[in-house]
Chain A
Amino acid sequence: MSFYILRRILYAIPIAFGVSVVCFSLVYIAPGDPLQTVMPPDATAETIEIVKKAYGFDKPLPMQFLIWLGRVLTGDFGMSISTRRPVFLEVSEALANTSLLALFAVPLAFFTGYVMGAIAGCFPGRWIDRVVTGAAVVGVSLPNYWLGIVLVIFFAVEYMLLPATGMGPNGSTGFHILEWSSARFLVLPVITLSMIPVGILSRTTRAAVAEVHNQDFVQTLRAKGLSEWAVTRHVLKNSLPQVLAVMGLQFGYLLGGSILVETVFTWPGSGFLLSKAIINRDVPVLQGTILTLSLVFVAINLVVDLLQSLIDPRIRRA
């Protein structure tokens, strides 16, 4: 068993390596001289020379990658072109804010999605199933940033109930989670962010529950005399591994999809940072953010895989 854990962790390492290679090459697929992408436009010739040495642009490509990798591992992601602050600082601040959103969105989305899907799966074909399935399809087909805009229209413009944008009256520095005056800024972004995961999760859960229901052992349980509720509990337990796998993927979506939602609500998280970096052509920030987010995703997938193998012994292969 621990052999499997070890293998799974070891497997994640080349993936992480591959991820860093891709991130590294982002600088190079950018049009123009890679040097220009990491320098603010008004840098002096001197500065350019220094940076050139530091990045190793005058050395062959694999050398540059190693240099870059070395710097990344020590936490030096370079400097942001637009704000002149270290990228590492910017990314960590932004990530903290995004985590706040995720903190609320994850339980909300997963719980809602699972419950909806479970109910639909236990009563396939009935009206509740149709409602849930319909809602799920809608959820997946909706551009979530558009939902955000619509929600803003309703709650902020028409009815003035909730604030439209921003993170609290004082921005991120003055954010107190426990006070409603700050917390109310969370409501709309969290709801918007949860939408697609709820859709996908309810569909997946419904399919998993329905499939388990059809298996022979369920009939055996009933024949043994178990109450319907007890049988349902067994069914839900068995459908959990499949759902967990999808939850892990959805977490990754939350990391990536946050970019659109955060842009709509001007929430200063990693997604917003990313979109600002795109507008300003701030490649170091782009690189740093994507690298961080992807590595977090790899780590989450690893955890989810290990959790899955703990719950479902069938997954533990040699």
Chain B
Amino acid sequence: MADIAELHSPLEAFEEQAAPATRVRGYWQSVAYRLRHDPATLIFGAAVLLIVLAALFAPWIAPFDPYKESIVGRLKPFGWRDHLLGTDELGRDMLSRILYGGRVSLLMGVVPVLIASLIGGLLGIIGGFVGGRVNTAIMRTMDVFYAFPSVLLAVAIAGAMGGGIGNGMLALTLVFIPPMCRVAETATTQVRALDYIEAARATGASTIKIIRYHVLGNVLGPVFIYASSLVSVSILLASGLSFLGLRVRPPVPDWGLMLSTLRQSIYVVPFVCALPGVAIFITSICFNLVSDGLRAAMDVRM
């Protein structure tokens, strides 16, 4: 092999070289830079962190046992005897139940999206890169699931299988796989047509190596952005499912389920009964705004 390192050459032809911009900033560094200077996203990101921590440390910060019932102290308003947020229809402390409920809700929000991203992303990348019949087969199958409105599909699957957390998560995962697949496929197809992929092939790189080094880095971005926007949808859907009685069984604290059981009591302590919804709303909106901020930082053409 001609050893290039051996042959020296003072190539005189190059006098001036316009020095490039002084700050070397790759893609991820520029993303970090933009995020650092985006106060709104940072604030809501902190809020999300707070919510997650509160749910994580619920056993330590909850003032009461969320399962402990009390015949006497049922449906009490805010501030009654140390119950900051009142009690529910079985006398259990609302604040504790809300804190504990966060664990299940966050789990249901993140896990299905994560699994759907992995499976859907993989299918999308394969389909987008291989193209042709394989791609058509994959996307047509996804189209069938797209034909269902997502709430309906989730309810159908969860309903048919009988309730329970596992089935609920399965249902949500299945609902999210088609959109993730579509996002990954679109991104992969776009990247595949670019010249540097051909150049990589010209050096003799195998398909797997090309995907790993050239495609993945460029596809991960859009997939991540979309996944982050799905988290809040997942939380909403999950709570909707448990509102219908399809996920958790009582007495497990869960925001959707709590809304359902408290519904009868709105005439007595309306504000207490609205509380779980407030929790869902705040969590969902924080995730939404963080995802928007991430998109603004990441979706930039260099």
CB-CB under 8 A from A252, the residues of chain B are 149
User: B232–A286 contact, CB under 8 A?
Assistant: no
Ranked nearest first, the 9 interchain pairs of A and B with the lowest CB-CB distance are: A256-B149, A146-B277, A18-B144, A256-B152, A141-B285, A256-B151, A141-B284, A252-B149, A26-B160
- Fill in one digit per residue for A264-281: 1 if any B CB lies within 8 Å of its CB, else 0: 100000000011011101
User: B266–A138 contact, CB under 8 A?
Assistant: no
Q: List 14 A-B contacts (CB under 8 A).
A: A22-B145, A22-B148, A141-B232, A143-B243, A150-B277, A157-B270, A257-B149, A263-B244, A264-B263, A279-B245, A286-B160, A290-B152, A293-B152, A297-B152
User: B288–A140 contact, CB under 8 A?
Assistant: yes
Q: Which A residues from 49 to 81 make CB contacts under 8 A with B?
A: none
Smallest distance from the beta carbon of A29 to chain B beta carbons, Å?
5
A18, A137, A263: the one within 8 Å of B289 (CB): A137
A283: CB under 8 A from chain B? yes
User: A137–B160 contact, CB under 8 A?
Assistant: no
* Distance A65 CA – B148 CA, assembled complex (angstroms): 20
B130: CB under 8 A from chain A? no
B225: CB under 8 A from chain A? no
B147, B161, B232: the one within 8 Å of A297 (CB): B147
* Distance A255 CA – B150 CA, assembled complex (angstroms): 10
A30: CB under 8 A from chain B? yes
B43: CB under 8 A from chain A? no
* Distance A16 CA – B199 CA, assembled complex (angstroms): 43
Q: Which B residues from 102 to 121 make CB contacts under 8 A with A?
A: none
Q: Which B residues from 262 to 302 make CB contacts under 8 A with A?
A: 263, 266-267, 270, 273-274, 276-277, 280-281, 284-285, 288-289, 292
Smallest distance from the beta carbon of A72 to chain B beta carbons, Å?
16
B147, B159, B267, B285: the one within 8 Å of A157 (CB): B267
A119: CB under 8 A from chain B? no
B262 nearest CB neighbor, chain A only: A149
User: B240–A143 contact, CB under 8 A?
Assistant: yes
Q: A-contacting residues of B (Cβ < 8 Å)?
A: 140-141, 143-145, 147-153, 155-157, 159-162, 232, 236, 239-240, 243-246, 256, 259, 263, 266-267, 270, 273-274, 276-277, 280-281, 284-285, 288-289, 292
B147, B156, B162, B244: the one within 8 Å of A301 (CB): B147
User: A297–B280 contact, CB under 8 A?
Assistant: no
A26 nearest CB neighbor, chain B only: B160
CB-CB under 8 A from B263, the residues of chain A are 149, 264
A294: CB under 8 A from chain B? yes
Q: B-contacting residues of A (Cβ < 8 Å)?
A: 14-16, 18-19, 21-23, 26-27, 29-31, 137-138, 140-143, 145-147, 149-150, 152-153, 157-158, 252-253, 255-257, 259-260, 263-264, 274-275, 277-279, 281, 283, 286, 290, 293-294, 297-298, 301
User: A142–B281 contact, CB under 8 A?
Assistant: yes
User: A29–B157 contact, CB under 8 A?
Assistant: yes
A152 nearest CB neighbor, chain B only: B266
CB-CB under 8 A from B292, the residues of chain A are 137
A32 nearest CB neighbor, chain B only: B162
B157, B160, B267, B288: the one within 8 Å of A27 (CB): B160
* Distance A141 CA – B229 CA, assembled complex (angstroms): 11
A279 nearest CB neighbor, chain B only: B245
Smallest distance from the beta carbon of A292 to chain B beta carbons, Å?
11
A22 nearest CB neighbor, chain B only: B144
CB-CB under 8 A from B273, the residues of chain A are 149, 153
* Distance A158 CA – B266 CA, assembled complex (angstroms): 10
B153 nearest CB neighbor, chain A only: A256
A133 nearest CB neighbor, chain B only: B292
CB-CB under 8 A from A23, the residues of chain B are 156
CB-CB under 8 A from A143, the residues of chain B are 236, 239-240, 243, 256, 259, 277, 280-281, 284
A14, A29, A274, A278: the one within 8 Å of B140 (CB): A14
Known A19-B144, A143-B259, A143-B280; 8 more pairs at CB < 8 Å: A15-B147, A19-B147, A143-B243, A146-B277, A147-B277, A257-B149, A290-B152, A294-B149
* Distance A281 CA – B246 CA, assembled complex (angstroms): 11
CB-CB under 8 A from B143, the residues of chain A are 15, 18
Q: Beyond A29-B157, A146-B280, A278-B246, is A255–B152 a contact (Cβ under 8 Å)?
A: yes
User: B161–A31 contact, CB under 8 A?
Assistant: yes
B149, B151, B245, B284: the one within 8 Å of A278 (CB): B245
CB-CB under 8 A from A158, the residues of chain B are 270
A147 nearest CB neighbor, chain B only: B277
* Distance A149 CA – B143 CA, assembled complex (angstroms): 35
* Distance A253 CA – B266 CA, assembled complex (angstroms): 27
B268 nearest CB neighbor, chain A only: A157
User: B144–A15 contact, CB under 8 A?
Assistant: yes
CB-CB under 8 A from A30, the residues of chain B are 160-162
User: B147–A298 contact, CB under 8 A?
Assistant: yes
CB-CB under 8 A from B243, the residues of chain A are 143, 145, 260, 263
Smallest distance from the beta carbon of B44 to chain A beta carbons, Å?
11
* Distance A141 CA – B288 CA, assembled complex (angstroms): 7
User: B288–A297 contact, CB under 8 A?
Assistant: no
